[in-house]
Structure 1
Amino acid sequence: MEKSDSYKVLIEEEVDALKYNSRFMDTKKYMQHGDTSIYEHSISVALLSCNIAETLNIKVNYKNMIRGALLHDYFLYDWHDKNNGVSLHGFTHPKAAWKNASRDFNLNKTEENIILRHMFPLVPLPPKYAESWIVCIADKISAASETVAPVKHSFKSSISFCNKLIMLAKNLVVS
């Protein structure tokens, strides 16, 4: 079994543990970036976090890191809906996610720190633990990939994609 497969097993086990007596599966209902649900995004962040820790040979508690990654966006609302009463989502959702996760689960300090600090540097308090830093970075990479993916797929080739970006940039400069 490859290492990434063992991480997938750990993630699946944690998802199984989280889905009982909680609202974790509700994250499938909410879109995060592009056409990616919060559920899919959180699993992607967890897997990428494991791969980063392994690749860089960083000693981490994988269970804490995976659990924190799975709950880092546990805010349980549609942040795209301007009528939901939430403003400045990027700044406020870590605390909303932490409140929901604290209600539904017993969190340890590392998991809390992952959830509350994953938006650094937008939220100015930096992560405290290696696991928190790794999830913070994995979240940025996953978010960028998920945001660009739907746009990229709408073009037939990377050359066409680049040409479209250049045209968009020219139009912005002209207008």
Structure 2
Amino acid sequence: MWNFQYKSEYEACVADLERSGAVQSMRFLPQHAEGVSTYDHASLVAYTSFRVCSVLGLDARAAARGGLLHDLFLYNWQDHSIHSFLDHMENHPRYALENAEALFALTDTERDIIATHMWPATPTKFYHRWESLVVSCMDKVCAVAELLRLFPLITRGKKQARHVPAALEAPARLTFLQPKAG
């Protein structure tokens, strides 16, 4: 994690998730821009959501956890032989939620964050919690920042320390949870 001001408070919320091989495997999956992994993206969404929810008096812990898990779909979304772009846009929140539920005990707020983070692209999946709205907005802000190559400015130009478990050092060794088709 980058050296942000409230790093220790944030890490206390997500430490158990960070120890998961599935979460760490997101380091090997691309996200919106070259050089930004799904893990980088999810971490920034989680931290910014944690801070916004802290300021607003919302459940910052759920925002951090839901934010980190919101893209736990565990496949290369840019490889359209796995899922079409439209299938990914519409269904990756469901895949991420299925994976997260298989690995972690989630609160209702965390479930809602993961399931609804793609609204309005998924019009039938509207937020039921304020924290979900915050994470969804931060997801979009972070994605735009990545596409505009602002990621280094936001993270103060520092690359994250790579605390990757030995079992995950090479992408060839990864065993991803496979999303259910349809």
Shorter chain as normaliser: what TM range?
0.7 to 0.9
> 1:116 aligns to what?
115
- Which of 1 and 2 has greater Rg? 1
SS at match of 1:32: coil
Supply the distance in 2 between the matched residues of 1:48 and 1:149 (Cα, whole angstroms).
17
Compute the RMSD of aligned alpha carbons: 1.9
Distance of aligned partners of 1:28 and 1:21 in 2 relative to their CA distance in 1, 3 Å threshold? closer
Structure ranking higher on relative contact order (CA contacts 8 Å, 6+ apart): 2
CA positional deviation for 1:21: 4.7
Distance of aligned partners of 1:44 and 1:19 in 2 relative to their CA distance in 1, 3 Å threshold? closer
Distance of aligned partners of 1:19 and 1:148 in 2 relative to their CA distance in 1, 3 Å threshold? same
Where does 1:3-42 land on structure 2 (aligned, <5 Å)? 5-6=5-6, 8-35=7-34, 36-42=36-42
1:52 paired with 2:52, answer yes
Q: Which amino acid aligns with 1:74?
A: L
CA positional deviation for 1:99: 0.4
Supply the distance in 2 between the matched residues of 1:25 and 1:118 (Cα, whole angstroms).
21
Q: Which deviates more, 136-145 or 13-22?
A: 13-22
Q: Which deviates more, 29-38 or 81-90?
A: 81-90
Supply the distance in 1 between the matched residues of 2:59 and 2:127 (Cα, whole angstroms).
15
Distance of aligned partners of 1:86 and 1:104 in 2 relative to their CA distance in 1, 3 Å threshold? farther
State the TM-score, normalized to the length of structure 1.
Answer: 0.76
List structure 1 runs of 4+ shifted beyond 6 angstroms: none
SS at match of 2:98: helix
> 1:77 aligns to what?
75
State the TM-score, normalized to the length of structure 2.
Answer: 0.73
Q: Percent identity?
A: 32
